[in-house]
């Protein structure tokens, strides 16, 4: 497995395979995909719809288990851990941003952002303070009390990013984070990712169908026939 940036990868998928059974049929989504994200690196994952980008991100974040292969975090196979350690990995080491925001409509932006801290058993007052800081970091200090239905799509995605930042992850996995946004708002979200990368050293693995945004990443993988091929930004 190649290493990212000349050093050991922060997060890597090594020869990942994923199969699903649909009745008598076996669907092979991933066929030995290998990707690596170095510390503080932004990596884009591109490919046609349905090729397995979301599946690969779910495996990298331990939201699902591979049929074969390994996911390594700081060189350690995360699926060799016990369940309690896997939960800690999901809650503290990795942050998640999804295309459809996954916000709870009855909660305010502040309450949505608080959720990871509450799941990590932080006191409610501390969680509230951390969420307020995170929302300010993404430019929503004045929107804390608004519910998702009162926010634009770009604002909802920034709440989701604030939520992902709550437990100070080393890497954020973003699955089509601009898929529901117009081009101008998409640029705003990528600008935010770039700032978080530069100021906090957060690494990103971003699945996107937008080639212009993908070219802003440090490296690009193209997912084809279940395998990840590293490509140049001008391809």
Helix orientation angle between 109-119 and 153-165, rounded to the nearest 10 degrees: 20
- Does any domain span residue 108? no
Q: How many domains does the chain have?
A: 1
- Does any domain span residue 181? yes
Determine phi and psi for 178, rounding to 5 degrees: -115, 15
- Does any domain span residue 141? no
β-pair partners for 77: 72
- Does any domain span residue 23? yes
pLDDT digit string, tens, across residues 22-57: 888 888 899 999 999 999 999 999 998 888 999 999
Residue found under tokens 């719809």: 49
- Does any domain span residue 156? no
- Walking along the chain (235 residues) 10 residues at a time, the average pLDDT comes out as 60 95 88 96 92 94 95 95 90 90 92 93 93 93 95 93 92 92 90 94 94 92 94 69
Q: What pLDDT is stored for residue 233 in this prediction? A: 63
- Does any domain span residue 119? no
Q: Supply the range of the domain harboring residue 181.
A: 4-99+168-231
Q: What is the CATH number of the domain that holds 37?
A: 3.40.50.300
Torsion of the alpha carbons at 224, 226, 230 and 232, rounded to the nearest 10: 20
């Amino acid at each position: 497995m190649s290493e990212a940036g000349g050093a050991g990868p922060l997060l890597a998928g090594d020869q990942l395979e994923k199969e699903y059974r649909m009745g008598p049929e076996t669907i092979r989504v991933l066929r030995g995909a290998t990707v690596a994200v170095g510390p503080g690196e932004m990596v884009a994952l591109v490919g046609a719809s349905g090729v397995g980008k979301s599946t690969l991100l779910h495996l990298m974040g331990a939201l699902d288990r591979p049929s074969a292969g390994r996911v390594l975090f700081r060189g350690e196979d995360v699926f060799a851990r016990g369940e309690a350690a896997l939960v800690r990995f999901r809650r503290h080491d990795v942050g998640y941003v999804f295309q459809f925001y996954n916000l709870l409509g009855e909660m305010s932006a502040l309450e949505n952002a608080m959720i990871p801290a509450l799941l990590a058993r932080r006191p409610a007052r501390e969680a509230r303070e951390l969420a307020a800081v995170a929302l300010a970091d993404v430019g929503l200090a004045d929107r804390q009390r608004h519910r998702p239905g009162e926010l634009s799509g770009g604002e909802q995605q920034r709440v989701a990013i604030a939520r992902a930042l709550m437990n100070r992850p080393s890497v954020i996995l973003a699955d089509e984070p601009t898929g529901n946004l117009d081009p101008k708002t998409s640029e705003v979200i990528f600008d935010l990712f770039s700032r978080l990368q530069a100021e906090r050293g957060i690494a990103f693995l971003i699945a996107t169908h937008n080639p212009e945004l993908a070219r802003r990443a440090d490296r690009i993988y193209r997912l084809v026939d279940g395998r990840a091929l590293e490509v140049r930004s001008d391809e």
